[in-house]
């Protein structure tokens, strides 16, 4: 059997849920925020998608400027990894 999603499919698979015309919460959040939908479960979230999810849960987010100079968790981790190897 060939799976349509890298996760292997199943009840929580966004590909299978969309195919069955079932509700996918993140789709509603992303559409409301005007950000693209993920194509499959294993696709990592874009910063805009993650911010939309955080906002939908009532959490504050910081704007990442993508230059590794901000205070967001992604940049802090990237800086820590780079400083380890430098």
pLDDT, tens digit, 9 for 90 and up, residues 23-75: 999 999 999 999 999 999 999 999 889 888 888 887 655 566 656 566 677 77
Question: Which domain covers residue 78, as residue numbers?
Answer: 14-85
Radius of gyration (C-alpha) of the chain in whole angstroms: 16
Angstrom distances, CA of residue 26 to CA of 45, 46, 69, 71, 85 = 11, 13, 29, 26, 36
Residue 5 domain-assigned?
no
Residue 2 belongs to a domain? no
Q: Domain count of the chain?
A: 1
Instruction: Answer whether residue 57 is part of any domain.
Output: yes
71 found inside a domain? yes
pLDDT for 60: 55
Evaluate whether residue 8 is within a structural domain.
Answer: no
Query: Do the domain assignments include residue 79?
Result: yes
- Mean predicted lDDT score pLDDT of the chain: 82
Is the CB of residue 46 less than 8 Å from the CB of residue 35? yes
Whether 33 contacts 48, CB under 8 Å: yes
Closest Cα to residue 44, out of 32, 26, 59, 31? Answer: 26
């Amino acid at each position: 059997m060939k799976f349509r999603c890298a996760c292997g499919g199943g009840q929580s698979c966004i590909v299978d849920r969309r195919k069955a015309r079932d509700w996918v919460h993140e789709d509603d959040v992303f559409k409301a925020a005007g950000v693209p939908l993920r194509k499959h479960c294993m696709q990592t979230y874009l910063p805009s998608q993650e911010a939309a999810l955080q906002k939908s849960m009532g959490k504050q987010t910081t704007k990442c400027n993508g230059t590794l100079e901000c205070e967001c968790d992604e940049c802090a981790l990237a800086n820590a990894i780079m400083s380890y190897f430098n």
